[in-house]
Amino acid sequence: MSGYNPYDNFLDVLDQAAKEVKLHRNDYETIKYPERELKVSIPIEMDDGSLRVFEGYRVQHSTLRGPGKGGIRYHPDVNIDEVKALAAWMTFKCAVVNIPYGGAKGGITVDPKTLSQNELKRLTRRYTAMILPLIGPERDIPAPDVGTNAQVMDWIMDTYSIMKGYTVPGVVTGKHIDIGGSLGRAEATGRGVMIITEEMLSRLGKKATDCRIAVQGMGNVGGISAKLFAATGCKITAISNVSGGLYCPTGLDVAEVIEFAKTAPITEYKKDGVSYITNEELLTSDCDVLVLAALENQVTADIAKKVKATMIVEGANGPTTVEADKILNKKGVIIVPDILANAGGVVVSYCEWVQNLQSLNWDENDVNVTLKKVMIRAFDSVYEISKQRGIPMRLAAYIVALERLCISRELRGIFP
């Protein structure tokens, strides 16, 4: 959408939540503004000897409830408004699941697929050096996001540690297990999506195994949640990535599709009963549950009018526009918002950070048990507000988070 600003999306819902609980402007005014915004230039010598300068960002939206927490995104569309919005959503996400973090986010405007491994390493190390004054285990803790992974986190941790003169595993989460990562972290966001989906369906008197589920996205969130759903006997009728999607009314072999897509375009996958569809066709396909696990701004007003799903679960950040939200609510579509549905990643990031600070390693089962407990507790608090006030789940989630943030603001006061 031309001219669309995701931060305006955040502010719109924030104002709605404040109005619903009759907050005075002074109670939440500071939450409208990020605490810090850093823009950096990142000069890199490319493999061919040429010099390129990339733009990078790190935004700390709020550290009211603890250190900033949020991923680092490598994508050609990264810009300051997107990073600000993602940082703000992280603030609210951490407050919804009630973990002692604030919200932050970072990114570089780059297509990582066009860089060699060495160029990616040099880019990451220089970016880390440029944002070094802002990050740290007690200040701001990055994590993987779109276009980044455990290897990128390893490089950030190493660069930060070299600059400090000693190893600091707690500066990032989402690292490889061998250098302080947590078991269960890679699957955490997708697992959290599944937990929340099952919990919402159970409140509606339904079982996930009786529903047709469509998943937009085959990355760390969509791919894993689709695999986990399929492993429990759920029918995945559609799945997609950037090249397009597949549809099968009787259910796809998700594991086979994801494995195939690692080496070939999804459009080349052939099997009886499976047809090729576009991403838009996936969003409007005949299904019961639609999991949005790609990028923000996917369901627009035009698409919302054609959505057939009765329930949407936001595995991605900000995938539904404000206009689409209103249309879907009028249609009676239940939307489980991003700041609740995809919070599994930050919950297990918190587990990883705690393990790093205490120099301990938890069993994977302990991590998954903690994840489920925290996610269900968060769901219960949001669902209760939603039912009590007769409001959509998104507004209820913002209210839960906003009230916690306002309490922290009141207790801490305004400096000086």
What is the enclosing helix (H) or strand (E) of 189? helix 188-203
Tell me how crowded residue 215 is: count the other CB atoms within 10 A of its CB: 33
What dihedral do alpha carbons 16, 385, 6, 227 form, nearest 10°? -160
**Assign residue 413 a region: left if phi > 0, alpha if psi is -120 to 50, beta otherwise?**
left
DSSP codes joined into one string, 246-312? EE-TT---HHHHHHHHTTS-GGG---TT-EEE-HHHHHTSS-SEEEE-S-SS-B-HHHHHH---SEE
The token duo for 168 is 């600091």
Counting every residue written for the chain, the total comes to: 416
Contact yes or no for 169/180 (Cβ under 8 A) = yes
Active-site annotation holds for 105: yes
Strands 244-247 and 275-277: antiparallel
The token duo for 62 is 């709020």
What dihedral do alpha carbons 307, 310, 311, 316 form, nearest 10°? -10
The token duo for 240 is 């997609």
Contact yes or no for 200/336 (Cβ under 8 A) = yes
What dihedral do alpha carbons 337, 338, 343, 346 form, nearest 10°? -150
Q: What's the start-to-end Cα distance of the chain, in Å?
A: 41
Q: Which residues contact 273 (CB under 8 A, 6 or more apart)?
A: 248, 249, 250
| Cα–Cα dist 262/350, whole Å | 30
Which 3 state secondary structure label does DSSP give 332?
Answer: coil
Q: Which of 69, 84, 93, 105 is catalytic?
A: 105
The token duo for 276 is 């090729």
Q: Which residues form the catalytic set?
A: 105
